[in-house]
Structure 1
């Protein structure tokens, strides 16, 4: 029973939160802002009140069932109204429903399940230009009756996805002088006879879209020319099931009508591949269009298998012919005869296997031929000869292995032979733009072959297999190459074999060079020598870890070095740049990187990519820490002393040679020397123990350390210094495990221990730096140092902690900048000497002299 109650409570709580969220979301959506009334998905049943100066009013996806003369207030400035997709079975538009919206330009009533219009539903919309009525279950009466009588400036009407069965517009359409686009696709029109479009005669229709209707159900011949007296820009009849016979009947029926463009896409002409259920079009198929002055013919997406001789001979005015996505496998001789004005031919996405010398005969003015995504494996040598005006040739995504037709090609602007099976280029190519990406080229020496022609300006060789280099002729000194893409190859194998290091030396006009994803581990020092015009260089996604100074040309402005393995690059390399990308590298955040960090913080160069993607990977404490968060204050000393160190190295080398023997002896027996020294001193001076005044403090020293280091501290220090561990020890020490009061607040215990001890000894280890209590104790002890002006704080560094790591913590940095600290010896024979020194520091009283200027604690940004 309890579980049921709890479950019910949770359900009510979730429901409450969801309801609140919906209320907030609805409140944000259902409002007016910036002269736009946005009331979609608001569950409205009536038109809401809105300011009178709005420009756009959106009411889609509501529950409005009726709009009448009182629904809208007077909205003089409204130009766009959307009232579609109501969640009701019908939407009724009463007479004079929009009379208060005199200046509306676009009206959207689309996607209502059923739209019911009164005879004068559109009264008052004399300025309307765009009317959207698609998906409303409207029948032919919407055109045959006088619903459109109130429109004077109407230009665009969309009646697609309705139930219109015939096309006989009302005579009032003759007065719609601006109507130029009528969309009637996906209706149920099966036949259009001569006279049905009488009200359109004399008009210049820009677009009439009759695609995907029921013309395929009409088995009878066309009844006259339905488009007589109409001038069309574009007539769209796609998806109407036109086979060759129906296409011939249609073309004959519209004889004499002028068209700019006819679109018959998604037809069923031709047998397809492996079928013989319908014939391919022949010369007579399009004969009826001989007097139509047709400029663009779209026969894409069908089953045409063979282009028969003289197929388009009656279309002498044709400029663009689209035959893509058929099943064309054969192009007969003189298939394109008569197309002397054709400039664009699209044969892409077919199943052509060979291109013969006669294939494109008759296309003397063609500028573009698109043959991409066929099965072309062979092209005869003279296939493109005679096409003197050819500018663009697309052959990508075929199966071409060898090419011999380049030599017979006229000058072209673009040749795209990407995604084929080319293994070698044998002839120079007279073109401006060459795309050979995603082939099987292995020899970078092909670039020599390409650049023997001065006209070449753009070359794409990416995604090949370039791994060797054999010069195939000399690169022209006057070459005009501006863009070279060698990405995704194996240039590293070529350069590590000492081949073609000077491949770019003659490319003096090259502006863009892409070498990304080439597995490059190094750059030859003079690799880019001669690239005096280079502006953009892409070296991303390689394996570069070091860059020689001066490797890049001085004119370079954009450099991409992202996704490499750069460790500590010098900023001098980037002095000429305007844009730089060094994200996702392997930066080692040591003092060697300080110059780059300072440069990144001060430079005017635009750094591409996110700042968070330029980060450290080593040491572990700085892993994935962005460089902009790193400070280099602790590295200034190294920078200043670098010249001095070199001079001292020379002097010390000479001095060290004189004392080398003494140093070796001392190094090997220094533990014994210290014991001997102590005995001599005790004999001569009769060494007296320096005891502290017990009345002054309860403890001689408080030992502060991380709890994880207790076992080491106990064995190394407490057992050798604390009197309770051994009577020979001289100090009364305080440490947490023994002397803190159980149950007392930890910080109070720490403060009491520091106040009641003459000195505080902090054992600084890696764990100490990670322990917030230890850092707090260090800070408190240091505050006593500044308050009492006594040297009451002793810092002992244990383990391999660098100066850089210590300087990251503000309290420790402040101490290190003013006092010396002790470091635990690495050699066991130095432990006695170290303990003796530590004992003297505990005993010794040191006054701190106050400086004239007040002590200031300088803080630097730390990285956690």
Structure 2
């Protein structure tokens, strides 16, 4: 056989194999890439046993009444709120891994001891609150590690003793609140503040300090600007050293008992910067001594508080107002009852007067006339029944507070001359009606508070006169009717509160048209009224058509019997609305086009309605929503979320519903989710919940609130068991393990295939052709057709000369055998493999002319392989081997050795020149002769026998 076709064929096979190798390689990389990207879009979740995360703050719920610091708080939080629990002690290890923590709130616990090193790892902490605990002492180094702390609160404890170095690490503290404890001396205060060079505020009110002496504190000036030692039974207040050169706010008032205080400040310059002073309830053993106290601040005092005084109040007020710098006078809780015209006769420089809770019933008409510069007047929590006429004299008044009195009506001239008034507070009176003229003199008014009255009619009070009003509170009244044009005179109104009224008129026709003039309104609260619709039918005149700037609308809790609906165009015009609250409106459904007019909606509250099912199309117009509340609405499934396209949703509250399962598809539909509340839902505890349970336990993006308390409702044998205690390992399909196994198998298969091809490609080719020969034999065995040739000659192209010079003439011309030769007898156009197979099976024998070149030829080897298969299959010696060269056994291919091992057959060797040539041809003739049995076919030659 020619070598050239064999080489071409091998090259073709090699190219195909190479290309297949590249394709396999690309396929393997593609599979690996897909496996690694399986989790790219998974929403991950987590839950905490005792806390919830809001922003960067961990809030540890007081409902659980924790007795120790939780261990599962994420280390990345910046604030931790552990207040209102039952924590008994703090110890080292409670706060070891919070590198970003700046605020720690531990107030209202039962902490009795703080172990050394508790805060040693909180290097970033700025604020620490330990108020309302039961600490009795502070040991050395208890606050070690808090070198960056700027605010410390330890009020309302039982601290009596403080170790000298308890506060040694607080070198950057600025605010220290140590009120309601049991410090007794100013020396204890000195031991505390000596470690706080940057302290600016010192709060020590309501301890047991009886003597306050500056020489006990420190021997050098401090930066303290606020000193509060009120509520202490101080008998001696002595400043003899200049330790408070920057003090601006001093509070020594409200002692717990009537004790005459000695005021000893020989050098007034030491308190020269104090502008705010509180001496409420202080007694000095006489008015003269009180005057000595006030005269200390004769050049700096601006705000003076003298509540609940036991002196002649007229004299005290006169003394106070004689200080030229005083502008604010706070006189609360003094039993005045009646304010005479002379009470403030020398207070010409005062701009603010506070007369809260003084029992005032009457005020003389001229009582405020001397106070021409008064800008703020507080008369709240008194017993006034009408607006005092004296107020009309206050032309400079900017703020007036008349809340919590007994005023029943407002007259047209009650606020006459108050043209500069901007803030008017009238809540919690007994006002029943407003006339059209009541606010006519208040063109500058910006804030009007009328909540908590008995208003049932506001008539035309807001149709004119108030062009600058920004905020109006009419909540908690008895309003039932709002006529069209009610707020026509409020073009600047931005905040309107109408909740907790009885608004119940025919809203389909006229009530909400009253809002059409409020074109700048931003906040509207109509909660807790009696608003009710019966149809989804669109309204002819939608109520909010002109409110394009409204961004907050609250309609929750409408108290009407029966179920309610909302017209499909109810919210038309609210193009800028960002927050909508429809909680507890007894809604039975919402039209799909309901939100079509609110493209900027960010927060939606549908809690406590009777919706049961929600269409995913409902949310199509509001794809930017980030907060959704759908608790207690009888939802049977959250499947609508899979098609709602709420990809920006971050907060979902869906507690108290009837859906049993949260599927993986639902979780994946909210890729931006950060917080989900599903408390008190009817969970099913079986394999359907396996993905949800795994998501809660093992991921870390979305917080699942209080998941450790989720209870099973179905099936009955699992009821009231904890959902997260369910063993779902048998349900789990471990995607990670499957991916690992798959990729490992692919890699091993690729490796085995590569090694097999490299080391056994010839064996594989052999097996392939053996298989083809077997198929051919099975196909043609039954036909028993006579052989066309006596022998098929398999040879290499380099041995072709010997074949045609020696073999063919001897066998065909002299002995008469018919041979099949490649170039002469193969059918052109047929596949080479088919020609070889037909030639071997069409011949009685196959004669292989073996040389070194023959063994190196791929096609020659395949011819022998097919012939070998025929040898094995027919159990006849159809294979004749003729060796032209002496070839060592180690150079023979496995196929030759296999033939010799199985058959233990001798073979012919070409002797070359000499007398042995005749024997060679005779033995070859005998081999070509067909015998009756295999034993007779064995050749007993004298050539080399390979055992």
TM-score by length of 1: 0.58
Partner of 1:617: 713
Distance 1:527 1:182 in 2: 61
Partner of 2:375: 295
From 238, 261, 267, give the equivalent of 1:172.
Answer: 267
Distance 2:323 2:498 in 1: 47
From 328, 338, 362, give the equivalent of 2:417.
Answer: 338
Distance 2:221 2:353 in 1: 32
From 510, 513, 525, give the equivalent of 1:435.
Answer: 525
Give the conservation status (yes or no) of the 8 Å contact 1:460–1:486: yes
Q: Deviations over 1:777-830 (max 9, x none)?
A: xxxxxxxxxxxxxxxxxxxxxxxxxxxxxxxxxxxxxxxxxxxxxxxxxxxxxx
Kindly state the Cα deviation for residue 138 of structure 1 after the two structures are TM-superposed: 3.0
Kindly state the Cα deviation for residue 331 of structure 1 after the two structures are TM-superposed: 1.9
Partner of 1:557: 649
Partner of 1:186: 281
Distance 1:622 1:71 in 2: 57
Partner of 1:817: none
Give the conservation status (yes or no) of the 8 Å contact 1:482–1:512: yes
Partner of 1:159: 252
Give the conservation status (yes or no) of the 8 Å contact 2:473–2:498: yes
Distance 1:529 1:42 in 2: 57
Partner of 2:440: 361
Kindly state the Cα deviation for residue 395 of structure 1 after the two structures are TM-superposed: 1.1
1:502 counterpart SS class:
coil
1:208 and 2:289 correspond: no
Partner of 2:72: none
Kindly state the Cα deviation for residue 250 of structure 1 after the two structures are TM-superposed: 2.8
2:370 counterpart SS class:
helix
Kindly state the Cα deviation for residue 570 of structure 1 after the two structures are TM-superposed: 4.4
Aligned ranges 1:169-318 → 2 under 5 Å: 170=265, 172-188=267-283, 197-205=294-302, 207-215=303-311, 217-218=312-313, 224-232=318-326, 234-246=328-340, 248-254=341-347, 256-259=348-351, 261-270=352-361, 279=362, 281-290=363-372, 293-309=373-389, 311-318=390-397
Kindly state the Cα deviation for residue 462 of structure 1 after the two structures are TM-superposed: 0.5
Q: Indicate how the Cα distance of structure 1 residues 626 and 317 shifts in structure 2: closer, same or farther if over 3 A, else same.
A: same
2:442 counterpart SS class:
coil
Give the conservation status (yes or no) of the 8 Å contact 2:194–2:218: no
Unaligned runs of 5+ in 1: 1-19, 271-278, 638-864
1:631 and 2:728 correspond: yes
Give the conservation status (yes or no) of the 8 Å contact 1:296–1:319: yes
Give the conservation status (yes or no) of the 8 Å contact 2:428–2:452: yes
Distance 1:406 1:109 in 2: 53
Aligned residues: 586
Give the conservation status (yes or no) of the 8 Å contact 1:506–1:531: no
1:582 and 2:642 correspond: no
Kindly state the Cα deviation for residue 515 of structure 1 after the two structures are TM-superposed: 0.7
Distance 1:184 1:338 in 2: 35
Partner of 2:575: 479
Distance 1:595 1:113 in 2: 61
> How much is the aligned-residue C-alpha RMSD, in angstroms?
4.9
1:449 counterpart SS class:
coil
Q: Indicate how the Cα distance of structure 1 residues 84 and 124 shifts in structure 2: closer, same or farther if over 3 A, else same.
A: farther
Larger-Rg structure: 2
Give the conservation status (yes or no) of the 8 Å contact 1:99–1:124: no
Partner of 1:451: 544
Distance 1:622 1:95 in 2: 61
1:519 and 2:587 correspond: no
Unaligned runs of 5+ in 2: 1-87, 93-110, 735-947
Higher RCO, Cα 8 Å, sep 6+: 2
Distance 1:535 1:406 in 2: 35
Give the conservation status (yes or no) of the 8 Å contact 1:360–1:384: no
Partner of 2:497: 416
Distance 1:178 1:526 in 2: 67
Distance 1:22 1:478 in 2: 52
Q: Deviations over 1:538-585 (max 9, x none)?
A: 111121113447552445514322221013454434513422433432
Partner of 1:461: 555
Distance 2:459 2:189 in 1: 70
Aligned ranges 1:12-27 → 2 under 5 Å: none
1:231 counterpart SS class:
coil
Give the conservation status (yes or no) of the 8 Å contact 2:543–2:570: no
Kindly state the Cα deviation for residue 124 of structure 1 after the two structures are TM-superposed: 1.6
2:296 counterpart SS class:
helix
Give the conservation status (yes or no) of the 8 Å contact 2:685–2:723: no
Distance 1:348 1:544 in 2: 41
Partner of 1:861: none
Distance 2:145 2:220 in 1: 18
Kindly state the Cα deviation for residue 92 of structure 1 after the two structures are TM-superposed: 7.9
Q: Indicate how the Cα distance of structure 1 residues 628 and 200 shifts in structure 2: closer, same or farther if over 3 A, else same.
A: same
Partner of 2:584: 488
Kindly state the Cα deviation for residue 113 of structure 1 after the two structures are TM-superposed: 4.7
Give the conservation status (yes or no) of the 8 Å contact 1:563–1:583: yes
Kindly state the Cα deviation for residue 63 of structure 1 after the two structures are TM-superposed: 6.4
